[in-house]
Structure 1
């Protein structure tokens, strides 16, 4: 295990989520590792084209790095590129999406704690973006919902919070509470509810008088949410959604993540601006 002191080194595999230039030739990287979670690593001279650290320290690269720690700072001594995810940059949308996912991962990852599941999730999503195996909207939504769960905000998608039914025609999903109700139980729990205004769009989110954020979801969208939460990571993209359902799935997963993290991301705003431009 890495400890304070210049003589202690260890080789770890990590995904570079962010980088901050320091002067003309150095940079500090935010790196996600399985064993140590999120760590900050100083890369001396890594911006020089002829530096052996130039390639393995590029943004979004997954590399094997030999690190040493002095006081509270990690330094990279040497590195070997394992995966560059080069084709993420084939499209502006892909690059923007990767930037957003990396931003979220850096926000939810814990320091000096194991983050194997989160690392695998981000890697799977980066492979999906680079390989264009699924629509960007689906990759984004899957990441958002599963990342929220990994961060401790696991929704209960098993049964109606009121009566215990699991198969419904319409799911009333409480975004802030992470639970769902059938229509009967939802109506019973509300003193005031205007159904007509909510049925214009199955995934239209509304604020009712209690301040809860409710999304009305179709069976296909809710099934996608259930699958995303409970599927093995290696099979997390093994489902299909039609255009309207995919849009609704993307919308509710984004709302869920942002609601529970209680913040927005400039990288998400940029991603949406890129999509709107095409």
Structure 2
């Protein structure tokens, strides 16, 4: 069967001298493995459309187990992602997470739109990479089935707070009063953050967050896709947002990403 799909190249694996297998994220079929014969040749008509991070339109022949690429047309290369090593590293991490979140033969239109928007913001440099990364992580976790409850305190239902105690493992938060009386937490855990401790004073997965950081988390989870990156954070608030988003997705995906570690080594 021959069909045409639009997709993003998330991964590529060299095969022989000139062939490769691509992991492509599509709206209709989730992630698919596509065998691209001769695509590594510089003069191949497939060369441009099959580069890592590109968004293209692909005509494929489908068997029971494999897709074979027949033609490829470039839609967007996101070329300027590669302007900096940090940008390329962040895109590689996003691609890795997306490849894990996507399911074969399951529609992935929401995830595909998230990746496209994230790549666009990295390429255009409209927002800090820490913000792009944090928004992607929270939204990708929600798409994967790990939607946090950021509406109201898990204990009393209050939502108008100055300080939020967010439990990374459960995806819920508590106000300070409910946090203090919780039987599972010690007085040491209930202390407010100070400059030396950061947002994880216990070494546990409890993050003490300001109202601005928590508002950003809510925005990243609940906003419309076209408005996803339409907010700003600076300095400590941006750092805290990026930190808790990373903790959240790595906790629930139960995976340490080598591409994430590399991003942290080159981002500054």
| Structure 2: gaps (5+ residues) | none
The 5 Å alignment of 1:1-278 reads: 8-190=1-183, 191-194=185-188, 198-201=192-195, 204-207=199-202, 213-275=205-267, 278=268
- Output the TM-score relative to the length of structure 2: 0.96
Q: Which residue of 2 aligns with 1:4?
A: none
Q: What SS does structure 2 have at the residue aligned with 1:237?
A: coil
Unaligned runs of 5+ in 1: 1-7
Greater displacement, 216-225 / 239-248: 239-248
Structure 1: 4+ residue segments shifted above 2 A: 195-198
TM-score under structure 1 length normalisation: 0.93
Distance 1:196 1:234 in 2: 38
Check conservation: 1:203, 1:252, Cα contact below 8 A: no
CA distance in 1: counterparts of 2:191 and 2:164, whole angstroms: 16
Q: Write the distance in 2 (CA, Å) between the matches of 1:229 and 1:272.
A: 24
Q: How many residues align?
A: 266
Are the aligned partners of 2:193 and 2:201 in contact in 1 as well (CA < 8 Å)? no
Distance 2:73 2:47 in 1: 10
Measured in 2, the distance between the counterparts of 1:113 and 1:40 equals 14
In the alignment, the residues of structure 2 paired with residue 56 and residue 172 of structure 1 have an alpha-carbon distance, to the nearest angstrom, of 46
